[in-house]
Amino acid sequence: MEKIRAAGLLRTRGLIGGQWVDAYDGKTIEVQNPATGEVLANVACMGNRETADAITSANTTFYTWSKLTASERSKALRKWIFLLTVYIPQRHDLLMSHKEELALLMTLEQGKPMKEALGEVNYGASFIEFFAEEAKRVYGDIIPPTLADRRLLVLKQPIGVVGAITPWNFPLAMITRKVGPALACGCTVVVKPSEFTPLTALAAADLALQAGIPAGALNVVMGNAPEIGDELMQSTQVRKITFTGSTAVGKKLMAGSANTVKKVSLELGGNAPCIVFDDADIDVAVKGSLAAKFRNSGQTCVCANRILVQEGIYEKFASAFVKAVQSLQVGNGLEESTSQVANPSFGSVDMIPVGPAYKCTHEKNPGWTTASGHLGPVRISSTIQLPEKRARSDPNGSALRIQLLENERPAVQFCGAAPAQLRKNEKQELLEITFYSFFHMQGPLINEAAVEKVEKFVGDATSKGANIMLGGKRHSLGMSFYEPTVVGNVSNDMLLFREEVFGPVAPLIPFKTEEEAIHLANDTNAGLAAYMFTKSIARSWRVSGALEYGLVGVNEGLISTEVAPFGGVKQSGLGREGSKYGMDDYLEIKYVCMGNLG
């Protein structure tokens, strides 16, 4: 528990009707750090009874929350954003923002590097921000009447209680992407987070309460997934279920919700193709494919699961891609490294070969600044400033500002996460800087079962003729770490082609023609995300239209944003999340005919 003492938002009980409650039978489940196996906390293991209580609470609150004006709901949501991303609680000697606390919890229980965790807090908050404004844009219609004494109106009203079942790979963003529009519309929610990552969900819910979201509007139950899911499906008070997860579970939820005819929105598994045409910019394609494949250790539903490379550039791309993958650091998301540099006067120092992006604090004067990630040696130049707007300071108001400069590039803003330490040695000759590196790092897989699945897929591929170009085995760090892997000459009879690997394995598949690439890309029941790299505008339009996917990235590997619709076709789901279209699934359309108006 020492590592999470900093997390003032640590909660281990469920949230029902604004109260933190234990399971009726007192049962708990362990939450483990996948990087170390350490037990972080024991949280309440809830089931049918607790879920029924949460549904009742949500249903009761719905009648008051839905009657608030859109502006009132928007105001509460905006305060939630502030608490998630900006507010700095003054607790003891702790100077971490809620954003950093959430990121720390996320890294500890899910394994992703701190930089990715911080990015997810921003990403998750962006949905609340967007839907806080969309709350004021739920417009109806006036239909021209068929008779002179009538007026025909179309109203949009909140659907009611929503059951939201979310995964472990994005334990905050997948909640806010559902809860944001639901609350904005006037719905109330019962959230069932993954049993692997409940701490982030509970922390976010705590901040929602602090922001003024009414008790009962947002409830969190975790533990026995089958019991919780069954209660949500069978309850007549729950009018909608929204789920992100596997296609198999999505099908069960669809079938189970049929008895009560619930509205269901599903964001299910993917099998994303990434097509690299021979006219692509190789550097752009490598960087984009790397981002699309290895973010979150390959554990996202939009990861590039199959990299299709045109034969004319296959060898060149493969060589560059393998080299890029080799640069990925594997380790604990909070892993630290130490360098020593001369000049304790805080002036300019020599170039030192440290990792990508860092965050530092002075031992006595904790100051926090932020910087975007970069690679290569850095030069540190720093001064103590009183005060410094973008730094957080100790009670005396002093702060240390550290600016990182790349060797031959402009300065970068310091933006970061877990603190490092900066101190002089005993002889006052060296400035010792302890860094936390968190860019281009790959964390562990979520658990042993995930590693075994990756091993199965890689073994199947090699048994059928594929060749390991890089990695291909468990990492020497042990636990659930797996080496970043590139597998060459993958064919469509292999598991790596047919199914979603959900791990750090990049299959390379050669193709000859554009038509063949489209056929290979569409040869799956999934249809969530696809990527392509080409310099041809005509080909971009042509292939984008032919790909049977809900999202298509052209010359870009990171395409998700709160302002654009997210969702798949075929067996990758129903409905859309994010964007103005993300409100639709939480609203009912009502037609009103007013007659005899004279």
Nearest-angstrom CA–CA distance, 412 and 544: 35
Q: Is residue 174 within 8 Å of residue 168, measured between CB atoms?
A: no
Strand, helix or coil at 216?
coil
Nearest-angstrom CA–CA distance, 192 and 523: 33
CA 456 to chain centre: 26
Q: Is residue 575 within 8 Å of residue 266, measured between CB atoms?
A: yes
Residue whose entry in the numeric block shows the structure tokens 């636990």: 479
CA 451 to chain centre: 20
Could you tell me how many helices (H) and strands (E) the chain has, helices first? 14, 29
For residue 108, which of 443, 439, 441, 504 has the smallest C-alpha distance? Answer: 443
| Token pair recorded at residue 119 | 């990015």
Q: Is residue 582 within 8 Å of residue 131, measured between CB atoms?
A: yes
CA 129 to chain centre: 16
What angle separates helix 173-185 from helix 198-210, to the nearest 10 degrees? Answer: 30
Strand, helix or coil at 542?
helix
Q: Is residue 483 within 8 Å of residue 505, measured between CB atoms?
A: no
Catalytic: which of 100, 129, 267, 562? 267
Nearest-angstrom CA–CA distance, 40 and 52: 28
Nearest-angstrom CA–CA distance, 181 and 562: 11
Give me the count of residues in the chain. 598
- Exposed/middle/buried for residue 580 (C-beta within 10 Å: 0-12, 13-18, 19+): middle
Catalytic annotation present for 267? yes
How does DSSP classify residue 387? S
What angle separates helix 114-134 from helix 173-185, to the nearest 10 degrees? Answer: 10
Amino acid at the residue 83? L
- Pairing mode, if any, of strands 551-554 and 529-533? parallel
| Token pair recorded at residue 16 | 């029902």
Within the chain, what is the greatest distance between any pair of CA atoms? 95
Nearest-angstrom CA–CA distance, 586 and 583: 6
Q: How many CB atoms lie within 10 A of CB 324?
A: 18
Nearest-angstrom CA–CA distance, 451 and 285: 27
- Which residues are known to be catalytic? 267
